[in-house]
Amino acid sequence: MHESSAGPRRAREISHLWIGLRDGTRLSARLWLPEGAELDPVPAILEAVPYGHADGTLVRDATVHPALAARGFACLRLDLRGSGQSEGLFLDEYLPREQDDILEVIDWLACQPWCNGAIGMLGLSWGGFAGLQVAARRPAPLRAVATVCSTDDRYGCDIHYRGGCLLNENTSWGAAMLAFQARPPDPQLVGPAWREMWRQRLEAMPFFPALWLEHRVRDAYWKHGSVCEDYGAIAAAVLAVGGWADGYHGTVARLLAGLRAPVCGIVGPWSHEYPHLASPGPQIDFVAELARFYRQHLAGEMHAAEEVPPLRYFVVESAPPCALPTARRGFWRTSVSWPPPEASEVAFALSERGLRPQPARDRQRLRLATPQTLGCAGGRFLPMWGGPEGPTDQRPDDALSLTFDSRPFDRPVEILGAPRLELELRSDCPHAQLIARLCDVAPDGASTLVSWGCLDLTHRDRHERIEALVPGRPYRFHLPLDDLAWRLLPGHRLRLALSTTYWPMLWPSPWRPVLEIDAAASRLVLPLAEPEDANWAFAPPPPPERLPIERLRAARHRRRITVDAGTGTTITESFDDFGRERLIGSDLERDERMVERYAIRPDRPLSARASVRWRTERARGSWRVETRVAVDMRADQDGLLLRGTILAHESGGSPHQRQFTAHFPHPLSPRGSPRHRASASLWSAVRR
């Protein structure tokens, strides 16, 4: 343990401790204690994720927990069962066993002599999910949850499916989870047992992307852990935080509307990170916000000067497209609800002349069928690796889409809320996807993506079942787009762009549908408001303290798009080298790299190919462990074929190899009748 003084109180750190569970499993944790807590007990804050407190999140943790401990809170960073340094096996996301373990840890915390019995939870992404899920179990000591970049709906708004469409992030994140869970425990912390713990993990490792492909509709698997099923189950106070550049920002609005417990929200311009670290800026002093929230709900300390409105959100001003912005122009605003009361719905009709206030008098039939390569300007669904992952200029995708432009606006106007597209259309085949993008078009023609939405049209009634389209039959669809707070500047236009494809963000339909849109019966509904001035300001984060790492090789991130002139095949590649670092204090070296490749031909949906490669290394002195992960997915007439490999090697030892194969028929196979259940996956494991 060591002493730190990151604030008004000194705090000591215990870098590794064991917490025993009733079944005999021991979970590993890192603890920060304010000085004097043994004599004057304090509230405790728990963060529980499966990424390894000793290496995976060491840097991020160092920016949060010591500072909270210096403000009078005990902080526990827990490795979930079977991850990091913890014993047991990790078998899937958000299992009931995970929540049961956390409930036991909460009880353990509440009974410690340095804790006053009041518990809070904190988490980014996974930890944010966990906080909401555990709060729904209503443990008595849990009084406050801060959830950042998370979701209340595991099917509709997570990293696997969106609008019933399969996200390629399912494959990407599945490969990342294989790589993360194949990391070895640290022998310096767990002792000689590390090798057997590691072997058992590798032997029991599930094929994560296949687990999630087994459930193509919103069944009981996804409803478990989705707190939107019963918002009333949560009694703890909630601080919900999101970022407009993150795939999860809609959670804040839904929690504000759905929770009956005390709730407040913050939505900034950020991507998938804590607000004091995230880009694009401006960043805020998020630790101060956390301390205020926990003081109110864990310690009962609340001063009038600390009262905050229910929602604080950042309005982004029109800006040129950029895949890696460092900061956004705009300002902070407050509201009692979302959308704000000042926003009112304005409908725009779709016509061959663009977006217009009045529908066309004649019934225009507009044809929509787009090439498979459309979507390369869209960026990642969940930008979190640190490279140029955001959307670029939308003009290449716009040129391939069915577009509707408004007239230039002669004054500033704000879009505050979720746009909604109402369409009447027909399809010529049983399956189709519809993608809608809303763009801010500058006077020079540059097109910036500001919102989007998608829908698998066989999910038109609900996501619990798939119902084939009847070719030629007219259907009515309501397609919600993502929430936004955007100020459109004078001279700019709005563009609605429609497509049936969006690669590589979405896996394509095996069909090549042609949609016919009844323009006179269709409209875009926008929540518009007159511009108002800023009425809130956050303090910027304090200068960062020295982080506990020594950088041995700088990180480097690249994204490349190439087109084969002969076949038209478009290949999108990401190269993420996270660098090599030595962790100060433990002398552990970590080295991680990832390569992703997505390829498709413009005229062949079954040419879709996705591949992800990870290489990770942990080393200290003569000890060295390397793991390699490969995941590939491709399509054929019958469905999806998924293959994976894990190769793990300890210096001086024999390699350990696992191989996986899984095949999933498409629910509406072009070769046969509807199939509503995926086939059983065939998995094989080989150890050499």
In the DSSP assignment, the letter for residue 543 is P
**Are residues 368 and 317 part of one domain?**
no
**Are residues 613 and 507 part of one domain?**
no
Evaluate whether residue 537 is within a structural domain: no
CA end-to-end distance (rounded Å), the chain: 40
Evaluate whether residue 535 is within a structural domain: no
Predicted local confidence at residue 7, as pLDDT? 47
**Are residues 322 and 376 part of one domain?**
no
Q: Kindly give the parts of the chain with pLDDT less than 70.
A: 1-7, 303-305, 362, 669-688
The pTM of the full predicted model, rounded to 2 decimals, is 0.95
Residue-wise pLDDT for 614-652, tens only, equals 999 999 999 999 999 999 999 988 899 999 999 999 998
Predicted local confidence at residue 300, as pLDDT? 84
Evaluate whether residue 391 is within a structural domain: yes
Instruction: Please give, one letter per residue, the 3-state secondary structure of 147-182.
Output: EECCCCCCCCECCCEECCEEECHHHHHHHHHHHHHC
**Are residues 370 and 274 part of one domain?**
no
| Bridging pattern class, strands 115-124 and 142-148 | parallel
CATH number reported for the structural domain that contains residue 99 in this entry: 3.40.50.1820
**Are residues 448 and 357 part of one domain?**
yes
**Are residues 433 and 374 part of one domain?**
yes
Q: What is the rounded CA–CA span in Å between residue 187 and residue 10?
A: 30
**Are residues 116 and 35 part of one domain?**
yes
Evaluate whether residue 201 is within a structural domain: no
Roughly what angle, to the nearest 10 degrees, separates helices 96-110 and 126-135?
80
Residue-wise pLDDT for 327-357, tens only, equals 999 999 999 999 999 999 999 999 988 999 8
Residue written as token pair 């880009």:
279
Predicted local confidence at residue 476, as pLDDT? 98
Rama region for 464: left / alpha / beta (φ>0; ψ in -120 to 50; rest): alpha
**Are residues 615 and 510 part of one domain?**
no
**Which of 335, 361, 395 marks a domain boundary?**
335
Task: Supply the Cα-derived Rg of the chain in whole angstroms.
Answer: 25
Rama region for 545: left / alpha / beta (φ>0; ψ in -120 to 50; rest): beta
CATH number reported for the structural domain that contains residue 525 in this entry: 2.60.120.260
* 3-state helix vs strand vs coil in the chain, percent to 5: 15, 40, 45
Evaluate whether residue 395 is within a structural domain: yes
Torsion from C-alpha of 517, 519, 523, 524, nearest 10 degrees:
70
**Are residues 448 and 349 part of one domain?**
yes
Evaluate whether residue 214 is within a structural domain: no
**Are residues 357 and 491 part of one domain?**
yes
Residue-wise pLDDT for 82-100, tens only, equals 999 999 999 999 999 999 9
Q: How many CB atoms lie within 10 A of CB 257?
A: 11
**Are residues 431 and 565 part of one domain?**
no
Structural domain range at position 284: 11-153+226-335
Strand partners, 476: 424
Evaluate whether residue 196 is within a structural domain: no
Counting residues of the chain whose pLDDT is more than 70, the rounded percentage is: 95
Closest CA to 48 of 114, 104, 110, 89: 104
**Which of 335, 367, 392 marks a domain boundary?**
335
- Number of structural domains (the chain) is 3
**Are residues 555 and 472 part of one domain?**
no
Evaluate whether residue 36 is within a structural domain: yes
